[in-house]
Amino acid sequence: MISTSHVWLRRSAKPMAIAAIPAVLFILLFIFYAGWTIWTSFTDLSLLGRKSINPSFVGFDNYIRLITRDGFLQSVWTTTVFTFFSAIVGQCGIGLLLAIIMKSSRFRLKSFVEFAILFGWLAPDVVAAFMWNAFASSDGMINVIILQPLGFESVNLLNEYAIEVVIISNIWKGTAWSYLLFSAALDTVSREVIEAAYMDGANALQRLRHVLLPLLRAQIATNLLFVTIWTYAFFSLIYALTGGGPGRETEVLSIYMYKQAFDVGKLGYGSAVAIAMMLIVGGLSIFYVRQNKDQTR
């Protein structure tokens, strides 16, 4: 019996080792990239020129520039506003509301609404940016179909209300994740609990506040964690739609980092921005996890 198990282990060890090679290589690549980024953040490495070959160690100079330059602090504020309204309030809140509404069998447009929600999620970011540009530009559908027939002048929403357009586009793009998660969570809620609250005289708002939300607390916390991380590091849709403009109105941290590293060519400073963004996201993650643990005790 024992010898047979040893033979099986010896035979299975080689295939398992071969299968583990890609995972090990990925981990090593991740460690190398993270270590290279940390090291680079303490240098004046440039994309071009002499400093691209022979960078100098500058200590914490790049990090000091972070807190003394308005560009970084403004990007932190823009990213925080963008994350709060598009992810926490928008994706999480609207996703929960839609999941509750869709669970009602009396809602006749359920299939159409679900298709619209999932379409935004499945559409590539560049395609989504093109669509929103077609809606919000000065000759876009909002001006042609709504504003001009009502007698209003055409408005380039991407210039006048850029951050609002970016927030709404990200809500449309990412709400499907929250919707699917909350829909699955609602399937685990016993109908008898809701009916008992209804029989006790609780109205819809009271049932939501005192029954559904406490039962979905863990799922809400998990969803908030994920959408906050994803949105705080969001890049492609905003860059394709506005490029961070006009001015710096939609220049979130990821775009600021990209511009400093590749447009300006300061890879060392760009790496410091990346490390700062990682620390901010890590701090938010720890906060969410601790809050969830405190609430479940």
And the tokens for 38? 């940390």
And the tokens for 170? 């990200």
Please say whether the beta carbons of 62 and 235 come within 8 A.
no
What pLDDT is attached to residue 208? 78
CB-based contacts of 123, cutoff 8 Å, min separation 6: 131, 173
And the tokens for 266? 């300061």
Task: Please say whether the dihedral angle defined by the alpha carbons of residues 226, 227, 231 and 232, taken in this order, is positive or negative.
Answer: negative
What pLDDT is attached to residue 296? 61
How far is 278 from 233, CA to CA, in rounded Å? Answer: 9
What pLDDT is attached to residue 1? 46
Please report, as a single letter, which amino acid is at residue 159.
Answer: N
And the tokens for 145? 């179909």
Total Cβ atoms within 10 A of residue 70: 8
Please say whether the beta carbons of 98 and 113 come within 8 A.
yes
What pLDDT is attached to residue 5? 52
In the chain, which residues have pLDDT < 70? Answer: 1-14, 104-108, 294-297
Please report, as a single letter, which amino acid is at residue 47.
Answer: L
Closest C-alpha to 140, from 115, 120, 165: 165
Burial letters for 250-280: b for 16+ Cβ neighbours within 10 Å, e otherwise?
bbbbbbbbbbbbeeebbbbbbbbbbbbbeeb
- Cis omega (within 30 of 0) on the bond before 124? no
What pLDDT is attached to residue 169? 94
Closest C-alpha to 255, from 283, 231, 269, 236: 236
